[in-house]
Chain A
Amino acid sequence: MELMTSIRNFRIPKSYTPPLLITGILFAAHISFGILDSYYNLITAVVSAYVVELILHRLVMGKWRNMSSAYISGISVGILIRSTLLWPYALCAMISVASKYVLRYKDRHIWNPSNFGIVVMIVLASDYMAILSIQWGNNMWAMLLIWIIGSISIAKIKRFHICATYVVSFLALAVVRSWFTGDPYFAEIAPLTGPMYQLFVFFMITDPKTTVDNRKGQYLVAFSIAFVEMFFRLNEAVYAPFYALFLVGPIAMVVDLWLKDTKQQENKVLARE
C-alpha cells in the first residue's frame, strides 16, 4: 500500500525533463536511423562537458553541482557536431561549459552554453567539422512524434509558448524569404522539418538560465531570434539559427538583467523615501 502510494506520488523533478527528453530523442533516433557516427563521439562530448563542469564549479563555488546542465551541453554537442575526428567534440563541449563561468553579467551567464560552443566551432574550426543538417529518416510520423512529445514535455516546464512563438515567426518570415529569394516556400520551411531545428527549438531557445524571465519578453525574444535569423538566411548562412541566438540571446539577457537591476534600485530608493 505504502509502495503504491510512493509510486503514485513519484514525480520526475522538472529540472530533469530536458535531459530525459533529449536522451529519449537521441536513443529513439539512433536506434531507428543510426544518427550517431559513433558512440565514442557522444561519450567524448559528454565526458568533456562533465569534467569541465565538475572542476570549474568546484573551483568557483566550492561545492559539487547537479550535472544535468553539463549533460545537456555534452549531449547536444555530441548530436550536433559532425566530424571524423574526436577533438572537435571534446573542444566544443569544453568551450560550451567554460563559457558559463567566464562570460557573465551581473553574476549570470548570458549565452546558451552549447549555442556559444557551436558558433565558436563553426567560425573557427569549420575545416574540421560541420553541424548536423540533414533529416533523421524520412518518416513524417516520426518527425511529428518528436514534435508532439517535445511540445508536451516543454509545456510541462511552461516554456511551450517560446517554441510556438519561434516556429510561427519562422513560418511567417519564410514567406518574406521566399519572396526575396524567389525560392519555393517549401524550400524555405524545409529546414524546420529537420532534427537540427528540433534540438534548437526545444533545448536552446528555451534554456531557463539564458532566457529572460517575463513572459512578454520571452515572446519578443523568440520572435527576434526568428527575425534576425531571416537576415542571416538571406545572406545564405546555413547555420543561421545558431548565429541569431548567439546575437539575440545575450543582448536580451543583458537588457533584462539591467532593467531588473534598475527597477530594484528604484524600489530601494522609493522604500527609503
Chain B
Amino acid sequence: MSGKNNKIKTGITVFFIILIAIPLGMNISSWWESKYPVEQNREESLDRYGFFLEEISESAGINFVHQGPVLDNQLDHILPQVGSMGASVSVVDYNKDGYQDIYVTNSNIASKNSLFKNLADGTFEDVADELGLADANKAGAGVSMGAVWGDMNNNGYEDLFLYKWGKPELFRNEEGKGFTRITEKSGLPGWVNANTAIWVDYNGNGLLDLFIGGFYPETIDLWNLKTTKIMPESYEYARNGGRNFLLENMGNGRFEDVTEKSGLTGNRWTLAAAAADLNGSGYPDLMLANDYGIDEIYLNNDGASFESAAGETGIGFVPKSGMSVAFGDVMNQGSLAIYITNISEPGFLVQGNNLWVPSGRSAGENLKYRNLAGNMGIALGDWAYGGQFGDLNNNGSQDLYVANGYVSSEDRSEYWYDFSKVAAGNISIIEDARNWPAMNGRSFSGYQQNKIWINDGAGKYREVSSSVGGALGLDSRAVAYADLWNRGVLDVIVASQGGPLRVYKNTVAPGYEWVSFKLTGTESNRSAIGAQVKLFWNGRQQLQVVTGGSGFSAQNQLPLHFGLGKNPEIEKVEIQWPSGKVQELDTPEPNMVHTIKEP
C-alpha cells in the first residue's frame, strides 16, 4: 500500500514539474530567438517571404525629424506621455502628376510641417513652405496632430484638413499650384484636441464631410492649464475625453456641425476613426478606436444619422486602449474585417490587438463580429499605434504593418511600475496629473520593434520584420502605404514620435503580379472616398475600400492596390460607388493602374 502511495506521489510530483517546465521551456525558446535574431538578407527574404523593404529616406532627400509638443509646465513631470502623439503621415497626389506625395506633421510650437513632392526620379522635395502648408504650429493656435486629404469641392484636386491639439485648419488646393487657408470662413470648431479626423460622405450627397474625434476635452488649452485634472478618469472606463464632431459639407467651403443631429455625441478618448459600408446599407458606417475604454461602431441610418451598435455587434464590450482602425479582407471572403490596435507589454498589461471578423451568418442589421486576432496570430503587438493592411508581397492576401513603441528615453529603465500604481487608482487619484509620479527621463514601453505580419492566405499571420528589412525600433505612430514610383508594389512610410520619417522602398519577388484602380467620382465625391472595389480572380475574391483616413493619424494613397500572386486571371471587378451605383469591369488587365470614372 505504501509502495503504491509512493508511486502516486512521485507521479504527481513529475506532473507538477512538467507543468512548471512548460512556461520555463517557452521562456528559454524566446530568449534564444532574441539572442540569435534572424539576419536580414535581401535574397533570402525575397525567396521566403516574397518581398524586401529598403530604407531610402536619406537618399530620397527626406530628412524630416518630428518634434513632439512641449505643453504647460504643470505637466513637465509626465510630458513624454501626455505629449506622446503628433507624428502623422498622409499620402496624396496633390498636383495630379501621377505620383504620390507625402505630407507629415510636426508638433512643437514653431516647428514646420512638410509636404514631400515626389519628383518621380527617386527623390522628393519639401514644398510645404512654398505652397503654404508648413507654418501651422503656432502659439495660441496649437500644434498639428495629423492631416487628411479629400476633394471637398470636387474640383479634381485633394484639399487638406489639418487636425491639431488646437485650432483645426482647412486648406483649399488651388489646382496643385498652391493652397489657400480657408479656416476662418469654413465653420470649423475653434479648438479641438483631436488625434483623428477622416473625410467621409456620410449622407451620400457627393460632398465630403468631416468627422473629428476628440482626445483631450476641447475646453482644455494644453499650454495654459487652469486645472491639472485633465487625465482620464479611469484607465479603461473613461468618458471625460474630448467630444466628437461631425461637420457636414454645405458645398460652399463651409461646414455645419451636425454632431447632435447625427447621434455621434460622445466624450470618449478617441484616437482613431475610419469609415466604410460594413452592413451593405450603401452608406458608410463609422468605427472609432477609443483609448481608455470600449471601441464604438456606429451604423449609418441611410445618411440621416448614426446609431451605436457597439453592444449588438460584439465589438464594444471589453474596454481596452484603442489606437488605430484599419479595414481589410483578411480571409478573402469579400467582407471587411476591422483591426484595432491596443497595448500589450509582457508582464504588465496584455490587452491584445483586436481583429473583428464578421461572423459567417451575420449581415445587414444582424452584423456581428468575432475577435480572431489571437487565432490568426496578430494579437500580440506591443504598445501599438498605427496598423494598416496592404499586400506587401503581392501574393493576393492582405498583410499587416503595425507601429509600436510609446516613449523611448535615454534612460532605458521602465516607468511601468509608477504607471501601474495610478492606473489602478480611483477617479479621484487618476484624473489629476499632480498625482502621477514623475517620469524623470525614463522610458515607457520604449525601444519596441514594429511588426510586419504576412498573411499566409490560410488564416494565419507570421511576423517577419527582422527578416524583410523593415525592422524599426523608434516610437512609431503612423503608417501609410503608397506605390511611390508606380512599380506595382506598396512602399511603406512610417512616422515616429520625436524621430525621423522613414520611407521603405519595397521590392517584390519576380512573378507576383498586381492590379490597381484609381477611381474618380462624378455623382459621388470626386475622391471616391467610400467606394468599395471587389476583385475576382483565379477563383478568389478580395474587397477593398477607399478611405479618407485610416490607421492612426494616417492616410494611404487613394488608388487601391491588389496583389494577384502568380499567373493571375482576373475574372471581373465590381465597384460599389458611394452614390449607390454599381459598376462591373470584365477581365481588366493585370500589372497596370486602371483609371476608372464613375459612369
Contact = CB atoms under 8 A, between A and B. Distances in A.
Partners in one complex: yes
Interface of A: 33-34, 36-38, 56, 59-60, 82-85, 91, 94-95, 98-99, 101-102, 120-122, 124-130, 133-140, 143, 181-184, 186-191, 193-194, 196-197, 236-238
A145 to B, nearest CB: 13
B437 to A, nearest CB: 4
A128 B317 contact: no
B425 A186 contact: yes
A187 B424 contact: no
Interface stretch (B269-277, B348-356, B546-554): B348-356
B418 A183 contact: yes
A159 B182 CA distance: 69
A238 B346 CA distance: 12
A196 B420 CA distance: 11
The residue among B27, B426, B430, B438 with the most chain A CB atoms within 10 A of its own CB is B426
A127 B27 contact: yes
Interface string B83-109: 000000000000000000000000000
B417 A238 contact: yes
Contact of A84 (B238, B348, B374): B374
A135 B30 contact: no
Nearest to B19: A95
Given A130-B350, A140-B426, A190 B435 contact: yes
Nearest to A142: B426
Interface string B505-518: 00000000000000
Given A60-B12, A94-B19, A187 B348 contact: no
The residue among A60, A95, A186, A196 with the most chain B CB atoms within 10 A of its own CB is A186
B19 to A, nearest CB: 5
A188 B425 CA distance: 9
A135 B235 contact: yes
B348 A34 contact: no
Size category of the binding interface on chain B: 35 or more
B76 to A, nearest CB: 15
Contact of A191 (B345, B374, B380, B424): B424
Given A99-B16, A135-B237, A236-B417, 11 more contacts: A84-B351, A133-B348, A134-B234, A136-B237, A137-B237, A183-B437, A184-B434, A187-B437, A189-B429, A191-B424, A238-B347
A166 to B, nearest CB: 17
A48 B578 CA distance: 51
A124 B349 contact: no
A78 B251 CA distance: 55
Contacts of A138: 233-234, 237-238, 426-427, 430
Nearest to B374: A84
A97 B19 CA distance: 11
Contacts of A140: 426-428
Interface string B433-446: 01111100000000
A186 B426 CA distance: 10
A182 B27 CA distance: 35
Given A59-B12, A183-B418, A193 B429 contact: yes
Contacts of B429: 186-187, 189-190, 193
B23 interface: yes
Given A101-B12, A138-B237, A191 B420 contact: yes
B23 A120 contact: yes
Nearest to A237: B417
A12 B192 CA distance: 56
Contact of B234 (A59, A94, A135, A187): A135
Closest 10 pairs (CB-CB, A-B) = A190-B425, A126-B347, A84-B352, A194-B424, A138-B234, A125-B23, A236-B417, A124-B23, A84-B379, A183-B437
A126 B317 CA distance: 25
